[in-house]
Chains A and B, each alone.
Chain A
Amino acid sequence: MKRKWNEVPTSTFMRQLFQTSDLPAFFRQNRQAMEVPALTEYLRQLCAEQGLVPERVIRAASIDRTYGHQIFNGTRRPSRDKVLQLAFGLGVGVEETQRLLRLADRSPLYPKLRRDAVILHCLSRGRTLAETQELLQSMELTILGGDSGYGG
């Protein structure tokens, strides 16, 4: 069964939280909003927002088709690099990418590391995956998915 993911704006949520006198009741009522959506749901939501179908995203992310669909249907937990490739495939920005990483249980991008900084830069400028890879390579950094033991 698919659960529709309705996000309550955090500010509204915070206000309700401050006003409530019955904390357990607040948690009961808002259980759904507080539940973290699964990675697959968020991926689908982003697809819908960007007007893309998974097939297209997987292709643009240069991910093996079978592997890609396994990520989309939740049967495979993607490596960190694969999540980043998907973010480029989706054409989303930094905020969405960090959220994808969090939902995939992978560490967020960290601007104090060169490789992550390049990736953040490219995400914020709307660069394609190919452009990002080229930039990573030119700076002698490991390209996304470039190490089978780590990102592959």
Chain B
Amino acid sequence: MAVEELTLPAEEARYPAELTARCELLERLGGGQGCETLLVRERSGGRLLVAKCREKAAGGEEDAEAEILRRLSGPGLPAFAGVYENDLMRCTLREYIPGRTLDRVAAEGMSEAQVREIGLGLCAVLRRLHSQDPPVIHRDIKPQNVVLTDTGEVFLIDFGISRRYDSAAGEDTVFAGTRGFAAPEQYGFAQTDCRSDIFSLGVLLCWLMTGQTQLGEASAGGLERCIRRCTAFDPKDRYQSVDAVAAALRAGFRRPWRGDRKRRWGRRILTAAAVLLAAALLALAGADWERDAAVAFREPLVEEAVRLALGKEPEEAIAAEELALVEGVYIVCGDAYPTLMDYWDKGASWDPERLEAAGGGAASLEDLRMLPNLREVGISGGSVSDLSPLAELEKLDTLDLRYNQVTSLEPLAGLPALRLVGFNMNPVEDLSPLAACPALEIVDLCDVPGLTKGDLANLPETLSELTITDVAERAGALSGMTIRRLVVSAAGDPDLAVLTGIRGLECLTLQEAETVDLSALADHPGLRELTLPLGTWTEDLTSLLELSALEHVTLPREMEEAVLALGELPFQVVYTG
């Protein structure tokens, strides 16, 4: 298709030129009278930002937001990124917080523990606002202005009507806020102060618990008293500070609060003296309690991973009940990571030298017995051999144990949720227990020494992805199996004829190969995707034209000329390198 000429209305000219020069305008997130919120992206660097643009004619206290965000950044508050204006409007730029606002999240229902956690997160943000001199009052706390990120962090956005408390003023003259959520004094009875935010926080908690902005028939559970006190008509009957609200929220917690992880940002910097003092006090007064409730770990690396999951400081005690909150444990050699993403990306990064040199990695999975809700385990580069601590983990979905010493998979048999396993470089002896894993889909067995055809025949038929090495040495090993996605590490000049007999092959990725003869792929008429690694060479690409289902082919850049020589192609080619 020839690129078409398109004349667009010059609407973007409405926005300040410096804004459109710096950012591409991606999406209109919302808007109202004389006000628009846009998602934009910086042209250099690609950072996503939110631009809030207000038409000047609409008036209002439009400067407050920029000023407040500029002064206050940090946990729970989006970072300020600039302000631009032209004759028509002023646009304030701030960091984009990926996540969902509470009105969206709440539609899926929320437990009391979650509501408490959100309440505590908000208290932490409000504490910072209210402790400014003079205090900053948000004045518009409502579900639409609170973002919950995927990692559970709470952000307060939209400071459009926030203001600094002016102790000299008698009362606010203009109503600003959201009906239902705003405190009575915001309607003009008296000047708003920190306690107006506490009122709105109470309404928010009520709404999250019951779906209503006022306590009524629906039960607000253990939060009822706290909500009642937050939302007292007279400010002096309310909690007088967010710290008091936080204490009330924490007091009723049946399970200890997971939100401690937020300290990652707000990490309190204790002076050495304070640490010493705290330790001394614990030794004197809290020692008995510590012995009863705190959990001891056998494997220090697992303890570190659990602390990361719970957001605990190294010296902080972990209570037994808190372990139910841990869903993932990620360790590579001697380092623990907080998420599976970090485990794959930073941790493992599949540096074989690091993994092989291991020593100092995890040795025992014993501690995992204490984590009943564990879903993901990534522990690589250690000396783990015994899997029996995993046998009761009914929620286990992902288990990657590359570069360990596992021989028997017996304890995995029957695990109902196990979907992905990786045993690269482990001396696994028998794969048959995997056949008893009803949910198994993805199996990674690269460099598992001594696998035989018989072993592989034991893999469940439902498998959708298999990664395996040195396929040539196991010629025919895979014959008769149904595998949709196959990743083969086949160094040198592999003979693809060994793949003959695999049924249902749709996606094939070859790793490490040098010269390949693609003609053998004719046996796989259902092949849709083919990926050849950098450094691969093939004499003849014409056999690809015979694969009628082929849609995507990824090839090294060096092959581009050979591909062009084929003429028009019925599939898409992407080049790497």
Contacts and interface: CB of A to CB of B under 8 A. Distances in A.
Given A59-B551, A118-B8, A149-B48, A134 B3 contact: yes
A78 to B, nearest CB: 14
A82 interface: no
B11 interface: yes
B28 A107 contact: yes
Interface stretch (A3-11, A87-95, A137-145): A137-145
A149 B46 contact: yes
Contacts of A134: 1, 3
Best-buried of A80, A111, A113, A114 by chain B (most CB within 10 Å): A113
Contacts of B27: 80, 107, 110, 113, 116
Given A112-B12, A130-B1, 12 more contacts: A107-B28, A107-B39, A108-B28, A110-B28, A113-B28, A118-B8, A134-B3, A135-B4, A142-B24, A142-B41, A150-B39, A150-B41
A147 interface: yes
Interface of B: 1, 3-4, 6, 8-9, 11-12, 14, 24-30, 38-39, 41, 46, 48, 98, 104, 551
Contact of A138 (B3, B11, B26, B41): B3
A119 to B, nearest CB: 11
Best-buried of A114, A121, A131, A147 by chain B (most CB within 10 Å): A114
A149 B46 CA distance: 9
A75 to B, nearest CB: 13
A118 B41 contact: no
Contacts of A80: 27
Interface in A60-117: 80, 105, 107-108, 110-117
A135 B6 contact: yes
B9 A117 contact: yes
Contacts of B38: 113
A12 to B, nearest CB: 28
Contacts of B6: 118, 121, 135, 139
Contacts of A149: 46, 48, 98
Contacts, number: 62
B3 A114 contact: no
A114 B28 contact: no
B9 A115 contact: no
Nearest to A142: B24
Contact of B41 (A59, A105, A147): A147
Contacts of B25: 113-115
A130 B11 CA distance: 26
A123 B98 CA distance: 28
A111 B10 CA distance: 11
A83 to B, nearest CB: 12
B320 to A, nearest CB: 33
Given A80-B27, A150-B41, A150-B48, A114 B1 contact: no
A107 B3 contact: no
Interface residues of A, number: 26
Contacts of B26: 113, 115, 142, 150
Interface of A: 59, 80, 105, 107-108, 110-118, 121, 130-131, 134-135, 138-139, 141-142, 147, 149-150
Given A138-B3, A142-B41, A112 B14 contact: yes
A51 B9 CA distance: 35
Nearest to A131: B1
By secondary structure, the B interface counts as: mixed
Best-buried of A105, A107, A111, A118 by chain B (most CB within 10 Å): A107
A115 B24 contact: yes
B210 to A, nearest CB: 20
A122 to B, nearest CB: 9
B8 A117 contact: yes
Contacts of B48: 149-150
8 contacts: A107-B28, A111-B11, A112-B11, A113-B12, A116-B28, A117-B8, A117-B11, A130-B1
B30 A107 contact: yes
Contacts of B12: 112-114
Q: Closest 6 A-B residue pairs measured CB to CB?
A: A110-B28, A112-B11, A138-B3, A113-B25, A131-B1, A117-B8
A130 B39 CA distance: 24
Nearest to A151: B26
B109 to A, nearest CB: 16
Contacts of B551: 59
A116 to B, nearest CB: 7
Contacts of A139: 6
A149 B4 CA distance: 29
Contacts of A130: 1
B24 A141 contact: yes
A145 to B, nearest CB: 13
Best-buried of B26, B38, B39, B551 by chain A (most CB within 10 Å): B26
Contacts of B46: 147, 149
Contacts of A111: 9, 11
A92 to B, nearest CB: 20
Contacts of B28: 107-108, 110, 112-113, 116
Contacts of B24: 115, 141-142
A123 B30 CA distance: 22
Contacts of A141: 24
A116 B38 CA distance: 12
A141 B43 CA distance: 10
B417 to A, nearest CB: 15
A30 B104 CA distance: 24
Contacts of B4: 135
Contact of B3 (A117, A121, A135): A135
A16 B216 CA distance: 32
Contact of A114 (B8, B41, B104): B8
Nearest to A108: B28
B294 to A, nearest CB: 38
Best-buried of B8, B9, B12, B29 by chain A (most CB within 10 Å): B8
A59 B28 CA distance: 28
Nearest to B40: A113
Nearest to A135: B4
A59 B48 CA distance: 28
Contacts of B98: 149
A115 B43 CA distance: 14
Contacts of A138: 3
A134 B1 CA distance: 9
A82 to B, nearest CB: 13
Contacts of A115: 24-26
B530 to A, nearest CB: 14
Nearest to A113: B25
A111 B26 CA distance: 11
